[in-house]
Amino acid sequence: MELFDAFNNSGGFSPVLISIEVWCIAISLVMTFIVITMKVRDARRERQAMSDIRITTNLSSRRSTLLLCILITIIIMQINDVMAMSYIGSSSDLTYYVAHISNYILFASEYVYAWIFFRYLIKCIETSGMIVKYFWRTISDIILLLSVAMLTISQPTDLFYWFDSMNAYHRSELFWLSYVGGILFISIFFACLVRYRKAFSQKRKIVFLSFMICPIVALFIRYLFFDVSLLVVAYFVTTFIAFFEFSFSRARWLRPVWQPIANLREKEVLPDIRIKKSSTRNIKHIFIVNPIAGGYKYAKDLRQRLSKVKDLEYFVFVSRKEYKEHDIMERVQKFFQGERIRVYCCGGSGTARNIINGIRDFENVEVAYYPCGMTNDFLKSFGEGQDRFTDIEALINGTVMKIDYLKTKDGIALNTISTGMDSYFLQEKFKVFNVFGGRVPYFVGAFVTMFTKTPDEYEVDVDGRVIRGAFSEILIGNGNTIAGFLRYCDKANISDGKLNYMIEGNRWGLGHIKPMQVAITNDDEGRQQYFKVGECKRMIVRRLDDKPFEMVYDGEFDGEMKEWQIDVVKQGLNFVVPDGVEVYEG
């Protein structure tokens, strides 16, 4: 133990450790000042963003807020550790209270520090474009509350530690319980980092893994050598690394959003993209990107390809949260009010639906669909030509055609509106299976729903013809495919002012298998045998028990209503068909 005498803080005054921590406090104050300065500058840029749509993110201000909280917590932790060490050896009433309060705040701030740092990791993940489930936040909140509760209980019971007459604290037999909270935080930090590993490059993964090393080593040393307390110093080192990681990566995030992010491992030499039509140059080209769709690779690829566009003014917006594409679209229209806009929906079916719902001026807005999702069902209406929609040059030089869309009082859909089985297996509870792959939640949800959901009684009005009964699924659409492989009609004419509907009767469990086989194989005769199918211009759906229910718009839920009226808006949408793709005629 003589090797560690300089860091002894249990038997008396520890001048070396106190000196180190005082210097750490000074450095922490400097880092805090720098972060505050950054936040002030960010606030100015955010105010500028209200009048300049090219600035599309909050410049990591929330991330810097969490880093600021980490710095404040580490300062509080270090001050209380210095006070706890400085008052050892005195038996006055003042030092009694100072020692007890300082140690309590020290232990509590360690838990708070770990909790904030975990939230900081979540924010780093979300900054990259991924959405972290609330499950992780809930677990961290529970660990924090239980840890602080146990610490509070330990104060009058000496559960963790006790003080002698000279205000020196000593471990109790159950002191190891004080480590549980820290170990749990480290565990969920590692688990979350692994679960969302695609959010980071290889180098950033190593940096985030290094955040755990210092506290683990310090906890191990403190457990083996009671007299040595380097945990606060370890937390400072971790904070120091986080500060420089933030400062370094922030320089990249503050680039203008239209500047491509280089992929150093990409060896492909992309050709320049030429604008073939002079009319295309007079349009504002707006790319709204959902980076989550397609596992992020499409968003990165799009950035690279756009860097090769010549003679074109364009703007790129990245949605950082679910359903935010709608808000971005509204902002774009306000900024370019009265001008011709072409908006590129860079995502899946849900992304396109959210963007279209944000359109207020359908006359001056053109919609281009750059598919990045798992299914992109509407584009299957174009047959083999759907592959051309991923060619950004062909899409920029595309031709505008008028197509139909579905409209209700609650919103718009491009491909389908439905209720029944899919309104159950698309629920949030099944998304926990995302850890096994993007498609797994849908298959698990569909399987569970097949055997647990009994059909409800509906009244369906199809152009004035009323159909009543217990139905497993009610679907109306403008395309021909749903869920990527289920065909609800043989051919779809997307501009004839008519919609196709398909209603599945009262089936449960294995009874769904044959109808699904018919839909998968596109057996038109079988479809008429197992479903009620046809064309219409309006459908009104209500439940016979008069209860409100949800409808699914292109894979996205909308609010609950007792009655849904779905109408077709004939040729109401300016849709961009890629150069070289024939206009679909059914």
Size (the chain), residues: 586
Q: How confident is the model at residue 574 (pLDDT cuts 50, 70, 90)?
A: very high
The pLDDT of residue 196 is above 60 = yes
- Sign of torsion, CA 272 255 246 143? negative
Q: How much is the average pLDDT of 97-118?
A: 84
Return the number of other C-beta atoms located less than 10 Å from residue 43's C-beta.
Answer: 13
- 227 confidence band (pLDDT: 50, 70, 90): very low
Q: Is the pLDDT of residue 369 over 70?
A: yes
Least confident of 29-33, 64-68, 114-118: 64-68
pLDDT at 298: 59
Return the pLDDT at 259: 35
Q: Which pLDDT band, with edges at 50, 70 and 90, does 8 fall under? A: very low
Contact 475, 416 (CB under 8 A): yes
- pLDDT-derived band at 500 (thresholds 50, 70, 90) equals very high
Q: What is the mean pLDDT of residues 517-524?
A: 86
- Amino acid at position 164, single letter: D
Residue 96 confidence class, pLDDT cut points 50, 70, 90: confident
**Report field, pTM of the whole predicted structure over 0.75:** no
pLDDT in tens, 207-226: 778 777 777 777 676 666 54
**What are the E-state strand segments in 309-377?**
314-318, 341-347, 365-371
CA–CA distance, 238 with 210 (Å, rounded to integer)? 8
Confidence of residue 572 (pLDDT cuts 50, 70, 90): very high
Question: Among 252-256, 428-432, 481-485, 540-544, which stretch is predicted with the lowest mean pLDDT?
Answer: 252-256
Residue 153 reports pLDDT greater than 70: yes
Place 6 in a pLDDT band, splitting at 50, 70 and 90: very low
Residue type, 109: S
Tokens of 113: 């520090």
Read off the pLDDT of each residue in 223-231 and give the average, rounded to a whole number: 58
How do residues 272-298 score in pLDDT, each as one tens digit?
666 666 667 678 889 998 876 654 555
Residue 486 pLDDT > 90, yes or no? no
The rounded distance, in Å, linking the Cα atoms of 297 and 447 is 29
In contact, 156 and 150? CB cutoff 8 Å: no
**What is the CB-side half-sphere exposure of residue 132 using CA atoms within 13 A?**
28
Give, rounded to a whole angstrom, the gap between the first and last alpha carbons of the chain: 84
1, 227 Cβ separation under 8 angstroms: yes
Closest of 372, 292, 359 to residue 329, by C-alpha? 359
Evaluate if residue 238 carries a pLDDT over 90.
no
Which pLDDT value is given to residue 181?
Answer: 84
SS3 content of the chain, % helix, strand, coil (to 5): 50, 20, 30
Q: Residue 469: pLDDT band by 50, 70, 90 thresholds?
A: very high
The predicted structure's pLDDT at residue 275: 67
Average pLDDT value for residue range 416-423: 87
What pLDDT score does 59 carry?
38
Inform me whether the pLDDT recorded for 302 exceeds 50. Answer: yes
**CA of residue 232 relative to chain centroid, distance:** 33
DSSP of 77-131: HHHHHHHHHHTTT--SHHHHHHHHHHHHHHHHHHHHHHHHHHHHHHHHHHHTT--
Q: In sequence order, which residues have a C-beta less than 8 Å from that of residue 352 and are 6 or more positions away?
A: 345, 367, 369, 378, 414, 554
Q: What's the mean pLDDT in 172-181?
A: 78
Closest CA relative to residue 196, chosen from 136, 146, 130: 130
Q: How confident is the model at residue 365 (pLDDT cuts 50, 70, 90)?
A: very high
Reported as a single tens digit per residue, the pLDDT across 71-80 is 898 898 888 8
